[in-house]
């Protein structure tokens, strides 16, 4: 594959294949070859995926992020006085293995060095005993100084350093615990933040109020550009700007701290503690994700909860369950675990690949998913108090925060299984449909966890300098809900049509859709096109044709598709561009197949790439990060993506559109020819 170089980043840009040949139809001989290759690859992938199911019925791949998870785990244990040598050295093995040649650490495979991540990794290795003058450490500290040192790092990194006196609390943004008392209609109340940010900010208000300092085990002078002035003052933005206004608000809060009534502050911290404890899950974690658990444990410890208190004991035990131990002795910390998401995607993949709908492993998976349904209110009920519950979260235990995206995909998965208790399935899906419809935002679209979580104020806070802190509607989540509603016979419901109208309005000028929770335009487009055609949009619709043209234009010379995370920062240069990966190739194929392009050269080349890159054991290798936590700032490598999405694409190539098959089966008609677009079957 030929390539060019982007001078601004030094990164390699895969060349775009010309689209002229992709619009032609393949010959019968080529189609037969692709069909045989697809069938062989699908068979091997099916066998592998079936072999990886847990005895309880679920699937879960590793969820890989970056070394800040591992570094902060060690810093937490150091702060609590429970760090022990075996865990420390195992974490250090992993962190050292992730260091780049230039001494830095990146936030995704093949990405550039990132300052805050490198600082946290460096400090963790110091805890593990690596000396500052060791070659790998000296290289890291030199790079850190060249890029501004600790003073240029993000707020969260400096909070961790402040816990040990490596940074001054006075030089961090103020986060008053009195926020807990702000009513839901008031700007900057805790429900203005996305659920992941909310769960982190509430405990951090306690930490910010307490300003604890534990004795530093060593100095960090080598990470300052000027050790004599480690906390240089930063200039204020213009007073007429939003940034300037919030910077001055922060200064006011620092002054208010000195005169705030002690009784009110103590009461606010106690209220925050109650809020935290009420949201602890049955497994001891908070929200099923690691960062809120870490900060919640610190906050409660500062408020007097000893390590043997049941809340603390279970919270610390839950953190151990985020650890993945590797054969080389390395210990990697997952930021989250994704069994519900992985299981519903695996069921969809296996069913679409032709596994019998009553296969025992599919039924067992359906039983497990049905048992994971959330039937009690959570934080979402603050905005929707009258809405009955019904949905699924992402993780093993997270009853407070069901996920709109997971709920839609679980419903789609359950409909693919011939279950022994169809009435139970119908009731669960009925609750899911009702809940998802009730969570529609006023613009007609859907966010991931909350309704109309779109306030611009939280992102303006000086404290919020890392990642997304709000949860606005996105094209990928909205598409999955629309696809689910169409599968439930609600394609013409006015609420579904509003979602479709929003999706059409959100299409980019080049024909793609932005991917909030996956990288990036390939994920967005791979989600939206199947949803629109499932909802009855004809494949001749201009939006579909434009999407097809874009996908053909960004296909790599090797026949696959890939997109680098830099597309979140430099869309024009990187949109749909990157080294071919199995999951992203599958997303492109899923869109093209839904658009009626089964017999095109683009699809044939993509199928051949998937078949040709599959390993003998039925797996694909995918070191690249194709999942998204926060666009650009926090990236995810879902280790099961490389299995479920290629199998889904291969299955749809071999057996046609799954929604069409379901539709025809309900009508008592024989299956249509593989690849015939749904719009033709429905007379669109």
DSSP state of 391: B
* Residue carrying the six token digits 């900057």: 188
Query: Of 100, 503, 93, 156, which is closest to residue 326 (Cα–Cα)?
Result: 93
Alpha carbon distance 505, 512 (integer Å): 12
Alpha carbon distance 68, 55 (integer Å): 32
Alpha carbon distance 421, 426 (integer Å): 9
Alpha carbon distance 191, 199 (integer Å): 10
Angle between helices 641-655 and 658-666 (to 10 degrees): 50
Alpha carbon distance 444, 241 (integer Å): 31
Residues with Cβ within 8 Å of residue 305, at least 6 apart in sequence:
311, 312
Alpha carbon distance 584, 606 (integer Å): 10
Active site residue 405: yes
Alpha carbon distance 466, 147 (integer Å): 17
Going from the C-alpha of 316 to that of each of 73, 128, 196, 404, the distances in angstroms are 11, 21, 19, 29
Alpha carbon distance 55, 540 (integer Å): 45
* Residue carrying the six token digits 């840009």: 13
* Paired tokens of 143: 């790079």
Radius of gyration over alpha carbons of the chain, in Å? 25
- For 368, the 3-state DSSP assignment is helix
Catalytically annotated residue among 192, 403, 405, 558: 405
Residues 9 and 568 sit within 8 Å (Cβ to Cβ): no
Task: Count how many residues are written for the chain.
Answer: 684
* Paired tokens of 510: 């080049």
Going from the C-alpha of 341 to that of each of 369, 389, 666, the distances in angstroms are 10, 19, 27
Query: Of 519, 537, 539, 536, which is closest to residue 641 (Cα–Cα)?
Result: 519
Measured in degrees and rounded to the nearest 5, phi and psi for residue 416 equal -90, 0
Within 13 Å of residue 146, how many CA atoms lie on the same side as its CB? 12
* Paired tokens of 311: 């809340």
Residues with Cβ within 8 Å of residue 677, at least 6 apart in sequence:
533, 539, 594, 595, 596, 657
Alpha carbon distance 66, 141 (integer Å): 19
Going from the C-alpha of 195 to that of each of 77, 448, 472, 631, the distances in angstroms are 25, 9, 12, 16
Catalytic residue numbers read 405
């Amino acid at each position: 594959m030929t390539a060019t170089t982007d001078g601004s980043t030094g990164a390699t840009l895969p060349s775009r294949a010309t689209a002229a040949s992709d619009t032609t139809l393949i010959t019968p001989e080529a189609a037969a070859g692709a069909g045989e290759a697809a069938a062989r690859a699908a068979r091997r992938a099916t066998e592998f995926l079936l072999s990886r199911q847990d005895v309880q019925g679920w699937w879960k791949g590793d969820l890989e992020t970056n070394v800040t998870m591992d570094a902060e785990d060690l810093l937490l244990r150091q702060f609590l006085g429970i760090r022990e040598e075996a865990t420390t050295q195992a974490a250090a093995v992993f962190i050292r293995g992730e260091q780049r040649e230039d001494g830095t650490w990146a936030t995704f495979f093949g990405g550039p060095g990132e300052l805050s991540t490198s600082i946290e990794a460096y400090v963790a290795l110091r805890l593990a005993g690596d000396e500052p003058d060791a070659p790998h450490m000296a290289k890291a500290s030199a790079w850190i100084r060249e890029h501004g040192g600790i003073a240029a790092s993000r707020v969260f990194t400096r909070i961790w350093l402040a816990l040990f006196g490596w940074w001054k609390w006075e030089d961090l943004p103020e986060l008053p615990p009195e926020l807990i008392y702000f009513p839901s209609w008031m700007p900057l109340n805790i429900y203005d933040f996305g659920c992941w940010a909310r769960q982190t900010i509430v405990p951090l208000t306690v930490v910010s109020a307490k300003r604890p300092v534990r004795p530093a085990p060593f100095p960090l002078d080598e990470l300052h550009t000027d050790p004599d002035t480690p906390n240089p003052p930063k200039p204020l933005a213009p007073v007429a700007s939003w940034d300037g206004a919030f910077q001055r608000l922060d200064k006011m809060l620092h002054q208010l701290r000195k005169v705030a009534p002690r009784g009110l502050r103590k009461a606010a911290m106690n209220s925050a503690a109650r809020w935290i404890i009420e949201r602890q899950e049955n497994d001891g974690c908070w929200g099923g994700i690691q960062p809120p658990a870490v900060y919640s444990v610190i906050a409660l410890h500062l408020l007097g909860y000893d390590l043997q208190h049941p809340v603390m004991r279970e919270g610390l035990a839950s953190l151990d369950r985020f650890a993945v131990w590797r054969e080389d002795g390395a210990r990697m910390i997952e930021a989250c675990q994704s069994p519900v998401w992985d299981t519903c995607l695996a069921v969809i993949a296996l069913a679409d690949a032709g596994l019998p709908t009553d296969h025992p492993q599919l039924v067992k998976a359906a039983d497990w998913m049905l048992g994971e349904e959330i039937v009690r209110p959570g934080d979402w009920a603050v905005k929707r108090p009258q809405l009955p519950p019904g949905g699924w979260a992402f993780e093993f235990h997270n009853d407070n925060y069901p996920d709109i995206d997971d709920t839609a995909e679980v419903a789609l998965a359950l409909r693919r299984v011939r279950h022994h208790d169809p009435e139970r399935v119908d009731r669960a899906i009925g609750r899911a449909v009702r809940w998802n419809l009730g969570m529609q935002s006023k613009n007609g679209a859907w966010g991931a966890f909350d309704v109309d979580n779109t306030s611009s104020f939280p992102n303006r806070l000086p404290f919020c300098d890392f990642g997304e802190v709000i949860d606005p509607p996105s094209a990928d989540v909205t598409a999955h809900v629309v696809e689910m509603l169409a599968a439930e016979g609600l394609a013409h419901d006015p609420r579904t049509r509003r979602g479709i109208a929003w999706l059409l309005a959100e299409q980019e000028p080049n024909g793609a859709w932005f991917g909030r929770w996956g990288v990036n335009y390939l994920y967005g487009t791979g989600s939206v096109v199947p949803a629109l055609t499932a909802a009855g949009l004809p494949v001749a619709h201009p939006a579909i044709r434009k999407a097809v043209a874009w996908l053909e234009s960004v296909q790599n010379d090797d026949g696959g598709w890939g997109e680098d995370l830099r597309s979140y920062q430099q869309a024009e240069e990187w949109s749909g561009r990157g080294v071919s990966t199995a999951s992203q190739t599958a997303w492109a194929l899923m869109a093209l197949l839904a658009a009626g392009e089964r017999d095109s050269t683009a699809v044939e080349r993509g199928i051949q790439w998937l078949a040709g890159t599959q390993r003998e054991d039925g797996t694909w290798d995918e070191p690249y990060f194709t999942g998204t936590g926060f666009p650009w700032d926090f990236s995810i490598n879902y280790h099961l993506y490389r299995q479920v999405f290629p199998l889904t694409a291969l299955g749809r190539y071999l057996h046609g559109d799954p929604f069409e098959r379901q539709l025809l089966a309900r009508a008592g008609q024989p299956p249509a020819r593989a690849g015939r677009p749904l719009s033709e079957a429905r007379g669109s």
